[in-house]
Amino acid sequence: MFDLNIPLLSLLIWTPLLGGILLFFINQKNDSLIKLIGFTFSILTFFISIALLINFDTSQYLLQFVEKRSWITTLNINYHLAVDGFSILFILLTTTVSCLIILFNFSESRQQNNKYISLFLILEGLILGVFCAFDSILFYIFFEAMLIPLFLIIGIWGGPNRVYATIKFFIYTLFGSVLMLVALLYLSFKANSFYILDYYNLALSLDIQILLFLAFLIAFGIKIPMWPVHTWLPDAHVEAPSSGSVILAAVLLKVGGYGMIRFLLPITPDAGLYLNSFLIPLSLIAIIYISFVALAQQDMKKLIAYSSVAHMGFVTLGIFLVFNTIGQTQDVQDISHIGLQGSVMQMLSHGLISAGLFICIGIIYSRTKSRMIDDQSGIGQVMPVFSALMMFFLLSNSGLPGTSGFVGEFMVLIAAIKNNIIYAILASTTLVLAASYSLWLGKRVLFGEVSSDIVTSMKPLRLDEFWPLLILAILVILIGIKPDILLDISEESSLNMIKIITSKY
Amino acid sequence: MINYLYIFPEIIITSALCFIIVLDLFLPSRLKYISYYLIQFSLIFCVYYIYSHFNYLDSNVSELYNTGIFSNIFKIFILLSLVIIFYYTSVFLNYFNIYKTEYFLITVFGLLGMMIMISSENLLLLYLGIELLSLSLYSVIAFNRNSLFSSEAAVKYYILGAISSGFLLFGISLIYGLTGSLSFNEIFIYITSLNISSNIDSVEIIGLLFALIFILISLSFKFGAAPFHMWIPDVYHGSIITTTLLLSTIPKIAVFVIFIKLLAIVFSGLFLFWSDMVIILSILSILIGNIIAISQTNIKRMLAYSTIANIGFILLGLSVGSVIAYKAAMFYTLTYVITTIAVFGLLSQLVYKSKSVENISDLSGLNSSNPFLAFLLMVILLSYIGIPPLLGFHAKLFIIQALVESNNIPLSIFAVLMTVIGSFYYLRVIKVIYFDELKDELLITSKLYFTGTYVIGLMLLGLFPDILGQLSQYSISNLFNA
Amino acid sequence: MYWQSMIIIFSPLIGAIILLFKNKSTDFLSSIIANSAIGISMLLSLWLFISYVSGHNISESHLIYTWYATSGYFFEIGLLIDSLTIVMSFIVTFISFFVHMYSITYMKGDPSFKRFFIYTNFFTFSMLFIIFSNNFLQLFIGWELVGLSSYLLIGFWYNKPSAVSANLKAFVVNRVGDIGLLLGVILILITSNSLNYIDFFDKLPLLRDSTINLLGYHIELLPFIALLLFIGAAAKSAQIPLHFWLPDSMEGPTPISALIHAATMVTAGIFMVARLSPLYDLSGYVLDLILVIGVSTALFMGMVALVQNDIKRIIAYSTISQLGYMTAALGASYYSFAIYHLLTHAFFKALLFLCAGSIILKCHHEQDITKMGGLRKIMPITFITFFIAGISLMGVPSMSGFFSKDLIIDIFKYSNNTFVYYSLVLGVFITTLYTSKIFIKVFLGNNQLKIKKKLDLEHSDALIIPLLVLAIPSAFIGWSLFDGVLFNGFFDKSITDYTRLDQFYILHVEHSLSFFLHSLTSLSFIMIILGIVASYFLYYKDDGLLEKISDKFPLLRNILLNEYGFTSLSNTIIPTYFKRLANIIWMKSDVSIIDNFFVNGTANLINFISSKARLMQTGYLYHYAFTMIIGLLLFLIIFYDF
Amino acid sequence: MNVEIIIFYIFSLLLLSSSIAVVTVNNPVKSAISLVFSFFCSAILWLLLNAEFLSIILILVYVGAVMVLFLFVVMMLDINISQAKEGFVKYFSIGIFVFATIAGLLSYFFYNQFDNSSKNIITSIDLIGTDNTKNLGYLLYTEYLLAFEIAAIILLLGIISAITLTLRKSATNKYQNPSQQVNVSKSERLRIIKDEDREK
Amino acid sequence: MIPMSHYLIVSSILFSISLAGIFLNRKNIIIMLMSLELMFLSINFNFIIFGNYLNDLTGQIFVFFILTVVAAESAIGLAIIVVLYRNRQSINVQDIARLKG
């Protein structure tokens, strides 16, 4: 550990934002310059996040790299950035995936490319802001500001039904977040501060906690998304351009899970315990029901979108199970710590895998101009390398051990079984269901006879398409075989979180 | 006796008016711009004067008139807003060849009315100020004489405005009858001397309640709060766009000042009653504004309903009755005015099929023809929705924060939910601008340098909301200390 | 031992990775890399096996690396090296090596030649990963990885629709079993706080009386875990009712059928139960269930083989049936017998498949045995090796299969479990029937396909050598390992049935020779002879006889053809109902109720209210004035009461 | 029974009935006349209330100027008055209801509020001073000077806006524009035409 | 002696009549204007009554200003009506409903 006097977090957030603003002023005809700038800024952000990782002390749970400046003095709102073990993982995910997306974008040509990439950079900066902000209003600001770039990305460059999808997406998520605003303000009123960690120490009555809990739940539940508020996601995915889908699935959904860990767990544990008999079924429904819905899809993107919802069911399950440890023995707490870690892991892994899958679908779409499963068949014979990669991601998506997809599910199931074996039995059906829809997709699209001339004439994989996929695949395997690289980073924070929750009451 | 130094800003304006009225008669049409610049100059000079005598003026002229820091801040704000409005107006009128100096002159009369309203410490002066403002607005609305819409709007506004004046006067007469005075200060003393909570059914209190209802209704009418909002959509729709710009911005500030002075100071003893009334007004406004706006196709009309909703938010802040809430309401008002100037100013610069922009669909595909303009419009609309980190968000944040601090959680939830519903119609405009196909090229009446700077300033204000926040805090604390 | 084992495990993986990233390589180079990778493993395994057999019988556990460690819980990747490991590793690498060698010829000219070897190398690695694992997590990982390899290899010819359907089915069915395995593994983790086998076995006495709450019922923990784990084993080892993927998996290349779907992967379930013998010893009623499943699989699946005509499918059903025998042995707690049968079966069944592959290759990928015939002269080596493997399978005394199978049958004979005993003996009769059927139809009779005899051997050396090499253990390994290894305490350190074994040996076997002599009078030998006689009449002498018999029992025939309904269940009913259910959930619930009714419904409702509410703004001045006045009135009325 | 009371009741009745006539009569001219009569009645009532100056102003300014303006506009616009008041009956009941409620509420309130104390009796004695006009004037020019100035501005605004709104440059009218006349330049006044014929 | 409440009641009835007149009138805007005049008249009444009651001239001062302002207001109102009439050739209340919804 050596102390850097650079405000690394501000740098992290503002590098992509400035890059985005800069790109607005670049002539949209100058395509190579746009790509160069976009990539430079994203890779720069990535390096900053690596610097962050190197300097991060994993042996403690305290906030690190704290930056605090007063911002809105009338309400005592501060520009307060910091990271802990959870945030840094998500920061890494964001910077990595963003880098790869911009790399992947090289393969696509479109109108107003400067704005497209600019919006991506801005989105990246805002998402990073969410993960760094420790002032609740600052958090909220980043949380909600994220909507705009994505709204535009989907709306301007999206598919034919984009208007419906974007407005639905926007209003849905806005609806969720505004209630959270009220909750945050209430908490800040009680705590007399906007610093998130101050909320952890509040003693709130159960009724209040339940209300707060519901507010946060709606906000993050929509974002993540949970059943039954998931319906915006398939629409948004289907209409989004490929890279938009990637960032939506890979990073944006994680904000919901991150928020749950940051707010739901430590602030309203009692309410969580009280409502758990209602929440855990929701997660289980997400896992089973949504998997069935995924099975019925004809559109590749929709299928993967629904599969995202199902996977996020595991995340919420792992998080909600933590509530059940309140008042239990140390043994149970340790297990729920594993569950929490599993949720984090599941998010990270899903970030990588869904990114890979959406890139794959984007590659198919860019060649066949169709996302319908029925329209393609036998791509494996035309694009073997691509098919191998896509198959790999599909298998990871079905939770194959040795890939990252397994780790999170496994750890969450550990926590589930400790709580109630029925939860685990129901949740573990995902092994079959996820395998069914993932492999069924692979079977229909990649295998079989070549269906049409369009497929026959598909161009082979280009390097700028190949590398993002390969890097993602390597990461997926790496995490799958040695997950403690990442799990150790959040270990202390997670233990501390459990301690906060259980010691509070 | 009056120390005329204190009312020097008003004197500057009045004398400039008188001078320009005469001068304009003798100016040839190609030199009419001189009077325009003179007006602008006198306004700016007035700002300068108020600013340089900011503290010096901090005293009561008499029982009638107060020129404290509180009033001065608003006066400067109004004057500056009017300068910007005049800029857009002159561009607009010149483009459509309906330029007349009288338009500006009549507006400046209204300005004078507003300054009187802001400074008034007496119901009589308040009445005169309101009337001066209203009369000038009636004429300004009807200014585009050849338009059927304009004259219809003017008639509607006139009749309803007169009714509201009647209500105001009726209320004032009751106050006068009960307290024997028209001075804010004396009324305040009278009301606080009554022991409200113990004799809640006493006749005096019922009388005051009657007066309060009449005055509140009249002011709500001027503000545009439901159910006294009926004029707003029609008048906004019927007027030329720069008049709409005028109508929707600075009068709201003046009315807000009156609201805050009357409710927070004069009738502060009756808080128990008026907070409920204001809550009813605000709930109705937010509901009606947001919901009816959804089905609008005319952009001015849509913005009119959005105004109603915004007014509802301001009233929501006022209803809390704490200093923080007044601050929040003031912040909201300023934000609303700044944003509204931006949106109408920007729209006034657009020409569709050689007419001013009317329907939302006129804007379709703006992004492909003029991306910068589209961007500016989007920023403004997002600010209206309250998307952080734009100014509109902070405004809503302040209001909701005030509500939460007063433990009024259901109202705050209502407010945020209506924000979500409200976001829909703004989004529809953004959708038209960004996602729809280009229909006919939109022309721009002038370069976007000013508007661009203005909107970017708006964004900066959003990043540094402390500027407006501190201003609100400063002025509200001054109001209560004075 | 650590490094040898590491090399055994990772050599195939390295081979696979080299092949994967080696861009340009000829088929020859690929095969060299793949074979040498496996070859190294095989040689080391062989060496280890010999050293273990010759007395160096120790059990040791190593940590390779930590997967994840948190307070109180430790997830690791490690090695457990003991006699069971060594035997399994010997089987796997040995067969794998020869199948690889065989595949060089078999797969020659295939455009995806390299890919094939990547898969097989990877499979070998995964299998070894399971075998050497010292903990449940690793077991599960390897379990799924072999499933993956199997999936990939079944669908090797991915443009063949039947192949991709079959591999999907195989994977999904295996996943059903994996649910059980995973839950069992996790239950073990949370009850014993460890995933390590040895730690778990140490804790077993403490867990004997613990129960688990399932829907309010308190269920004994250990049997429950055993049951869950057995579900995994049943799926992998193709036991009823999760067996139906195995026949379909014959869509893959024949060497794969030999390697994965006969000799190694499908035996993983047997291996696991044997590995966990301390647990199963304590699992009570679950053992009975295992026994029932094993016996019924052995009997009923063998019967299905009778009505099949596809050579590979017959052998596949035979495999299932033989796995049933092993399972039955497990159910009787004679785990070592199961492992022993696993060992012998691996050789002769692999050999059978390789022979079948050889035949198929010769017959230009014709697999229907009724269309073949008279290959005896054309393929003498295949004929001889097939004969050896066949009689081994039937259990003709002195062959490998005899020693292992008759041991299993004898368990029940001596334990007076007559029903099981007769069932298994009947199974021997059936085995004999279908083995003879293949033999007769393929090698005897007329050369229907008009295949020409070439002057050289029937195929190249690389194809013949494996056949010959595998024929040796198929014939002799049973006898050679019987006294010296099986009953000599070889498995004492790894499997808990040594006391039973010793007793069995003393009471019923005495010696291999006496066992052999004794068996000549046993019921099963009679059955074999009966079977051969019957098949002579049924298949060789009179073609019409079989038809007549089957016409007499149409119901039985149909049941058998339909595999007791499993075919239609797995091919049509489950997929159709799954799809239908999925569609209903999607269209009815997700789209109609949640999305259209709640989400869009709210939006439409607001829109509707809006369009109605805007009519309030009539445009008439008197209405506006009226509204104001009514507003005034309401305010007056509301607040008058204050 | 005193004269004042008689006057009060008579003129109150007249006032109310004429104002009802203002509202209900079809013809705007009649309506205007009724209004004039209402003003007149109120002026008399105001006299009773010691507001001599205002009652005279009411007659002078209102009846003399404003109502004349009304009548003038009514005449000028030549409004078609023959149409029947359709829908009047339909809304009449609501009108009566609203009227009754508001009037009832207010009257009830006033009755309770101001009927009890002895101060509530309007006396005929002039309490404010002998010269109502003078007192008013004094107050107007001292205490309410600012208001007075503002009233002047309002009137100025009234003038300007009324003119701006109604002044129309009719095409048929011939009129001179003083600013044009004053600012005329030489070049505009004199046009030099080349006489081409002569050059030839 | 006339009780003050009688005066006030007269004025409040006047006020109510004017209010009713405003929305009962469906034909002519000018009549609406006249109703408004009635309303102001009633308010003036109030002021004068209260002034008298309080023995204070402020009420009458107020009335003076109301008269002034209402005169100016009427002038502008009539001007607007004239403008409207020129555009529409009608000042029928039912005709001026182009702006709605």
Cis ω for the linkage preceding C278 (within 30 of 0): no
Provide the greatest CA pair distance for chain B: 69
Nearest to B479 by CA among B71, B184, B38, B191: B71
pLDDT number for residue A1: 42
Q: Nearest C-alpha of chain D: how many angstroms from B170?
A: 11
All residues of chain B having their beta carbon less than 8 Å from the beta carbon of residue E15 are 166, 170
Residue B109's pLDDT band (cuts 50, 70, 90)? very high
pLDDT over threshold 90, residue E23: no
Q: Please tell me what DSSP assigns to residue A310.
A: H
Cis ω for the linkage preceding C241 (within 30 of 0): yes
Task: Report the percentage of chain C scoring pLDDT > 70.
Answer: 97
D87 touches chain B (CB under 8 A): no
pLDDT number for residue B59: 57
Q: Give pLDDT tens digits for A192-233.
A: 888 888 888 888 888 888 989 999 999 999 988 888 888 888
Q: Closest chain D residue to E9 measured between Cα atoms? A: D107
Alpha-carbon gap, residue A343 to A345, rounded angstroms: 5
All residues of chain A having their beta carbon less than 8 Å from the beta carbon of residue B465 are 72
Q: Give pLDDT tens digits for A8-67.
A: 888 888 999 999 888 888 877 788 888 888 889 989 999 988 988 888 888 888 888 888
Q: Give pLDDT tens digits for B342-379.
A: 999 999 988 888 888 888 888 888 888 888 888 899 99
All residues of chain E having their beta carbon less than 8 Å from the beta carbon of residue C619 are 96-101
Alpha-carbon gap, residue C260 to C255, rounded angstroms: 8
Three-class SS of residue C391?
Answer: helix
Mean pLDDT of A414-441: 87
Is C620 in contact with E98 (Cβ distance < 8 A)?
no
Mean pLDDT of C473-501: 81
Residue C642's pLDDT band (cuts 50, 70, 90)? very low
Q: Tell me how many domains chain A contains.
A: 1
Check residue A112 and give left, alpha or beta (phi > 0: left; psi -120 to 50: alpha).
left
Alpha-carbon gap, residue C546 to A35, rounded angstroms: 75
Q: Which burial class, exposed, middle or buried, applies to D7 when counting CB atoms under 10 A from its CB (0-12, 13-18, 19+)?
A: middle
Question: Cα torsion for B22, B25, B28, B31, to the nearest 10°?
Answer: 40
Is C636 in contact with D102 (Cβ distance < 8 A)?
yes
pLDDT number for residue B255: 93
Q: Nearest C-alpha of chain B: how many angstroms from E69?
A: 7
H or E stretch covering E66? helix E58-88
Q: Closest chain A residue to B471 measured between Cα atoms? A: A74
B109 touches chain D (CB under 8 A): yes
Q: What number of CA atoms fall less than 13 Å from residue A285's CA on the CB side?
A: 15
| Contact between C261 and C350 (Cβ < 8 Å) | no
Q: Give pLDDT tens digits for D67-95.
A: 888 888 888 876 665 554 555 667 778 88
| Contact between E36 and E18 (Cβ < 8 Å) | yes
Kindly report the CATH number assigned to the domain that includes residue E28.
Answer: 1.10.287.3510
Three-class SS of residue A332?
Answer: helix
Q: Is residue A293 a part of any domain in this protein?
A: yes
Reduced 3-state DSSP string for B420-441: HHHHHHHHHHHHHHHHCCCCCC
Alpha-carbon gap, residue C560 to D111, rounded angstroms: 104
User: Checking DSSP bridges between strand C217-220 and strand C211-214, what pairing results, if any?
Assistant: antiparallel
Is A400 in contact with C148 (Cβ distance < 8 A)?
yes
Nearest to D121 by CA among D53, D41, D56, D48: D48
Percent of chain B as helix, strand, coil, to the nearest 5: 75, 5, 20
Alpha-carbon gap, residue A417 to D66, rounded angstroms: 90
- Token readout for B101 is 């100096």
B62 touches chain D (CB under 8 A): yes
- Token readout for B277 is 């009334």
Alpha-carbon gap, residue C373 to C362, rounded angstroms: 12
Is B276 in contact with C609 (Cβ distance < 8 A)?
no
Residues 45-104 on C with a CB inside 8 Å of A are 65-73, 77
pLDDT number for residue B338: 93
Mean pLDDT of D138-144: 86
Q: Give pLDDT tens digits for C108-141.
A: 888 888 888 888 889 999 999 888 888 888 889 9
Residues 6+ apart with CB under 8 A from A109: A31
Q: Tell me how many domains chain E contains.
A: 1
Three-class SS of residue E28?
Answer: strand
pLDDT over threshold 90, residue B134: yes
Is D23 in contact with E13 (Cβ distance < 8 A)?
no
Q: Nearest C-alpha of chain C: how many angstroms from A257?
A: 22
Is C636 in contact with B233 (Cβ distance < 8 A)?
no
Chain B contact probe: residue of A26, A110, A178, A188 with most B CBs at under 10 A:
A178
Residue D65's pLDDT band (cuts 50, 70, 90)? confident
Q: Is residue E97 a part of any domain in this protein?
A: no
Judged by average pLDDT, the poorest of A93-97, B27-31, C373-377 is: C373-377
Q: Nearest C-alpha of chain E: how many angstroms from C575?
A: 55
Print the domain residue range for E83. 4-88
pLDDT number for residue B243: 92
Domain ranges of chain B: 5-481
Q: Nearest C-alpha of chain C: how many angstroms from B94?
A: 31
Cα separation values, B362 from A372, B233, B243, Å: 36, 19, 20
- Token readout for C636 is 């007056």
Q: Give pLDDT tens digits for C165-217.
A: 888 888 888 888 889 999 998 888 888 888 888 888 888 888 888 888 777 78
pLDDT over threshold 60, residue C549: yes
Residues 6+ apart with CB under 8 A from A103: A39, A464, A467, A468
C628 touches chain D (CB under 8 A): no
pLDDT over threshold 80, residue D131: no
Q: Which burial class, exposed, middle or buried, applies to C218 when counting CB atoms under 10 A from its CB (0-12, 13-18, 19+)?
A: exposed
Chain D contact probe: residue of B109, B147, B174 with most D CBs at under 10 A:
B109
Residues 489-508 on C with a CB inside 8 Å of A are none
Q: Nearest C-alpha of chain C: how many angstroms from E80?
A: 15
Write the ipTM.
0.89
All residues of chain C having their beta carbon less than 8 Å from the beta carbon of residue B206 are 640, 642
| Contact between B306 and B293 (Cβ < 8 Å) | yes
Give the relative orientation of helices B250-259 and B101-119 as an angle to the nearest 10 degrees. Answer: 10
Print the domain residue range for A338. 288-505
pLDDT over threshold 60, residue A3: no
pLDDT number for residue D172: 57
Which residues lie across from C217 on neighbouring strands?
A: C214
pLDDT number for residue D118: 47
pLDDT over threshold 50, residue B26: yes
Mean pLDDT of C36-43: 89
Q: Nearest C-alpha of chain C: how many angstroms from D140?
A: 33
Burial annotation C33-61 (CB, 10 A radius, 16+ → b, else e): bbbebbbbbbbbbbebbeebbeeebeeeb
Q: Is residue A503 a part of any domain in this protein?
A: yes
Across the interface, of B160, B213, B230, the residue whose CB is closest to C635 is B213
Q: Is residue A221 a part of any domain in this protein?
A: no
Alpha-carbon gap, residue D115 to D121, rounded angstroms: 8
Residue B482's pLDDT band (cuts 50, 70, 90)? low
pLDDT over threshold 80, residue A127: yes
pLDDT number for residue D87: 57
The sign one gets for the Cα dihedral A47, A52, A58, A61 is negative
Reduced 3-state DSSP string for C55-68: CCCCCEEEEEEEEE
Residue B233's pLDDT band (cuts 50, 70, 90)? very high
Mean pLDDT of D48-55: 85
- Token readout for C65 is 């690396």
Q: Give pLDDT tens digits for C139-154.
A: 899 888 888 888 888 8
Alpha-carbon gap, residue D133 to D56, rounded angstroms: 10
All residues of chain C having their beta carbon less than 8 Å from the beta carbon of residue E100 are 617-620
Residues found in chain D: 200
Residue B235's pLDDT band (cuts 50, 70, 90)? very high
- Token readout for B184 is 């804010």
Backbone angles phi, psi at D86, to 5 degrees: -70, 145
All residues of chain E having their beta carbon less than 8 Å from the beta carbon of residue D123 are 1
Nearest to B381 by CA among B334, B416, B428: B428
Is E99 in contact with B153 (Cβ distance < 8 A)?
yes
Cβ-based contacts under 8 A for chains B and E: 122
Is C213 in contact with A231 (Cβ distance < 8 A)?
no
pLDDT number for residue A505: 58
Higher pLDDT, C424 or D129: C424
Hunting for tokens 């045995």 — which residue is that?
Answer: C369
Across the interface, of E24, E32, E101, the residue whose CB is closest to C617 is E101
Backbone angles phi, psi at A448, to 5 degrees: 85, -175
Question: Cα torsion for A156, A160, A162, A164, to the nearest 10°?
Answer: 140
Number of CB atoms found within 10 A of residue C446's CB = 9
Q: Please tell me what DSSP assigns to residue C584.
A: I
pLDDT over threshold 70, residue C458: no
Task: Report the percentage of chain C scoring pLDDT > 90.
Answer: 1
Chain D contact probe: residue of E10, E70, E87 with most D CBs at under 10 A:
E10
Q: Is residue E100 a part of any domain in this protein?
A: no
A14 touches chain B (CB under 8 A): no
pLDDT number for residue B340: 93
Is B294 in contact with C607 (Cβ distance < 8 A)?
yes
Number of CB atoms found within 10 A of residue E23's CB = 26
Q: Is residue A152 a part of any domain in this protein?
A: no
Cβ-based contacts under 8 A for chains C and E: 35
Cα separation values, C558 from C83, C295, C320, C535, Å: 45, 22, 20, 21
Backbone angles phi, psi at E3, to 5 degrees: -60, 145
Across the interface, of B21, B26, B145, the residue whose CB is closest to D165 is B145
Q: Is residue E76 a part of any domain in this protein?
A: yes
The sign one gets for the Cα dihedral B320, B325, B330, B335 is negative
Q: Closest chain C residue to D103 measured between Cα atoms? A: C633
Chain B contact probe: residue of C632, C636, C637 with most B CBs at under 10 A:
C632
Residues 6+ apart with CB under 8 A from B227: B284, B288, C627, C628, C630, C631
Is A413 in contact with C182 (Cβ distance < 8 A)?
yes
Residues 216-255 on B with a CB inside 8 Å of E are 233-234, 237-238
**DSSP assignments along B310-332, one per residue:** HHHHHHHHHHH-SHHHHHHHHHH
Residue D156's pLDDT band (cuts 50, 70, 90)? very high
Asked if chain A contacts chain E via 3 or more Cβ pairs within 8 Å, the reply is: no
Q: Give pLDDT tens digits for A344-364.
A: 999 999 999 999 999 888 888
Reduced 3-state DSSP string for A208-269: HHHHHHHHHHHHHHHHCCCCCCCCHHHHHHHHCCHHHHHHHHHHHHHHHHHHHHHHHHHHCH
Residue B133's pLDDT band (cuts 50, 70, 90)? very high
All residues of chain B having their beta carbon less than 8 Å from the beta carbon of residue D182 are 26
Is C620 in contact with E99 (Cβ distance < 8 A)?
no
Alpha-carbon gap, residue D135 to B391, rounded angstroms: 54
All residues of chain B having their beta carbon less than 8 Å from the beta carbon of residue A188 are 401
Q: Closest chain B residue to C615 measured between Cα atoms? A: B292
B28 touches chain D (CB under 8 A): yes
Is E96 in contact with C621 (Cβ distance < 8 A)?
yes
Judged by average pLDDT, the poorest of B393-407, C267-281, E20-34 is: E20-34
